[in-house]
Chains A and B, each alone.
Chain A
């Protein structure tokens, strides 16, 4: 979607800023906010770009750097740490060949640490895009990653994900 179309879904009031930033970020295939996004948002809401930038920097879910198409957020909060969350992160780093905060070379997956995901009853837990996974084991991690990688066959050359035919 064009940036202006995304903006047009909202009323130009500052209280919508976070929702706008979420929408713009989701709209970007690389899951981040560009400088042009910030400028356009600032103009739209009649704010300074610096104040929009300040808000973006405050919230950990927004990124100013390109990220992979898929985000893996592993919980690093006390309960998950207690039940092996760090091993999960290390195993993921090994499986993906990247450190946390980085993106795989093919630009497909970004690995991020996260705080408590509200899944402590099934620790250790992680979030793949919009889906929670709990009770993680090394075997399960491999399954999850294979699951993310597999639909890659459906990605066409323009980098858009095709709809699976029913």
Chain B
């Protein structure tokens, strides 16, 4: 399968600071077209396209929009989730830095679809360049009359504002993001109600990922049928995969959904660095799953992965070459979760610390076969407990890397005795 680009279509080709370049490449045609459509038609088109959220959960975007659309409570809001922080993921940064207008147009279309007159772009605090690019994009769009009051004489008004995070991974979770945006600590809320019902300021709110939003203008412009010609039946379209770790050409590659993992690693990313063989690939970022070499033929789409117990997550593929220590790597991941746990609920606060400590213990005593085996099963039990009882998905995340690591690479943790 060759590369196929939607989210990265303009990246590296047009000047990201020039709205003229973007318009010349067909930009804002989708938005102008939508202004002559009804909101319901826009949503129907997105629903028909089968677009699923690219932020990690893969939730159908059209359904989310419809929920917000059907609510009779006003005002409504749209939030672009640009808080990218999942280790191994850098697709949103590339879109924001190299093609900010495509994301902005997506925000505008989402806002138009649910009659929101205010939208926020929540950029993580460390993303200085993406923030700068987006600020310029918003200012330029305003000067071009694409934002503000009575846009292009349509009677529709929209204001887009940038909000900044301040160094919390958890604030990428939609409700934590909403709380953070309201100027509070980024604590999760209990679901339901979902943000589309009661989000920011307890009003209906669409929260969508940058990559998801960057697909919207293309779908509106070219139509849902065109979009459906790519990808699989249940996961149409393309996806950006970020390959990193022990590969020769790390980077962001966009391909149709369902592309085999093997092709991503060996064709796009040029194979394993230093001529080694592959040990495993962690698919989906820190909260993803370890895929053994025997499963490299697997298709990369939500359902194929799910049917085998894996996750697509944000599309990160972290490759580990032969000779890498899995316990060491897993320890890094568990340390990450421990640091990022917000502490609101007990299972996550205490659990992430216990998991990290247990892993540290295993690392310190690699030869204790029986004791380590017991520790491992305790870790599995604890992460399962956390999966069932944590308030938000952060506490539910360690389950995936831990169980997949134990399932496929148990001997790595036991050492030889």
Nearest-neighbor residue (CB-CB) of B184 within chain A: A55
- In the assembled complex, the Cα of A13 lies from the Cα of B126 at a distance in Å of 23
Q: Is there a chain B Cβ closer than 8 Å to A61's Cβ? A: yes
Q: Which residues of A contact B84 (CB under 8 A)?
A: 118
Report yes or no: B333 in contact with A118, Cβ–Cβ below 8 A: no
Given contacts A54-B185, A79-B245, contact A117 B126 (CB under 8 A): yes
- In the assembled complex, the Cα of A161 lies from the Cα of B182 at a distance in Å of 34
Q: Which residues of A contact B129 (CB under 8 A)?
A: 130, 132
- In the assembled complex, the Cα of A59 lies from the Cα of B339 at a distance in Å of 12
Q: Which residues of B contact A17 (CB under 8 A)?
A: 183-184
Is the interface on chain B under 10, 10 to 19, 20 to 34, or 35 or more residues? 35 or more
Contact segment of A119-127, A136-144, A147-155: A119-127
Q: What is the size, in residues, of chain A's interface with B at 8 Å between Cβ atoms?
A: 38
Of the candidates A22, A121, A131, which one forms a contact with B90 in the assembled complex, judged by CB atoms under 8 Å apart? Answer: A121
Q: Which residues of B contact A22 (CB under 8 A)?
A: 125, 164, 166
Report yes or no: B85 in contact with A115, Cβ–Cβ below 8 A: yes
Report yes or no: B126 in contact with A127, Cβ–Cβ below 8 A: yes
Q: For residue B177, give the distance in angstroms from its CB to the closest CB of chain A.
A: 12
Report yes or no: A118 in contact with B166, Cβ–Cβ below 8 A: no
Q: For residue A49, give the distance in angstroms from its CB to the closest CB of chain B.
A: 15
Q: Find the residue from B90, B169, B243 having the highest chain A CB count within 10 A.
A: B90
Which residues of chain B from 324 to 353 have any CB-CB distance to chain A below 8 Å in the complex? Answer: 324, 329, 332-333, 336, 339-340, 342
- In the assembled complex, the Cα of A61 lies from the Cα of B168 at a distance in Å of 8
- In the assembled complex, the Cα of A81 lies from the Cα of B342 at a distance in Å of 23
Report yes or no: A62 in contact with B332, Cβ–Cβ below 8 A: no
Given contacts A14-B183, A132-B129, contact A59 B168 (CB under 8 A): yes
Q: Which residues of B contact A127 (CB under 8 A)?
A: 126
Report yes or no: B324 in contact with A115, Cβ–Cβ below 8 A: no
| Interfacial residues, chain B to chain A (CB-CB below 8 A) | 84-90, 92-93, 124-129, 163-169, 180-186, 242-246, 250-252, 282, 286, 316, 318, 320, 324, 329, 332-333, 336, 339-340, 342
**13 A-B pairs (CB sep. < 8 Å):** A14-B183, A15-B163, A62-B167, A78-B333, A82-B245, A114-B167, A115-B85, A116-B89, A118-B127, A120-B90, A120-B244, A121-B243, A121-B252
Given contacts A18-B180, A22-B164, A78-B332, 5 further A-B contacts (CB under 8 A): A58-B168, A60-B167, A79-B245, A117-B126, A119-B93
